[in-house]
Amino acid sequence: MQKDAVHWFEIPAADFDRAVRFYETIFAFRMNPMPIPNGPRMAMFPVPPGEGVGGAICHHPEWYVPSKAGTLVYLNADPDLATVLARVEDAGGKVVVPKSQISEQHGFMAVLLDSEGNRVALHSRS
């Protein structure tokens, strides 16, 4: 039986450098470039090997098209997503759904549009 429902995610970027800056700014971390010969440009979210679900910002004009109507990915914004959400607009994004409680058991969520126009959600326990 699998532990995580999600094993990997890819967020499309029209402007790769702008998208990487956006996520580095709102989460206050550095993303890791992932060179792929003859493939898309990718920068990985920092996750220690074997310790969680990984994902990347991806740019390729034919394969990745940003959209606010596509798949909704919930990114971990523990301990409190309000900290991350407060950086969104200055980083070039837009808050679509403010911090809202899901339930006492499941914590809080919010939805934003990133610098590329992708709809992305945040989740935290508090």
| Arch. (CATH architecture) of 8-124 | Roll (3.10)
How many whole angstroms separate alpha carbon 124 and alpha carbon 78? 5
Does 95 have pLDDT greater than 90? yes
- Number of neighbouring beta carbons within 10 Å of residue 96: 14
Each residue's pLDDT tens digit, 53-89: 899 999 999 999 999 998 899 999 999 999 999 999 9
Each residue's pLDDT tens digit, 15-49: 999 999 999 999 999 999 998 888 899 999 999 87
* pTM (predicted TM-score): 0.91
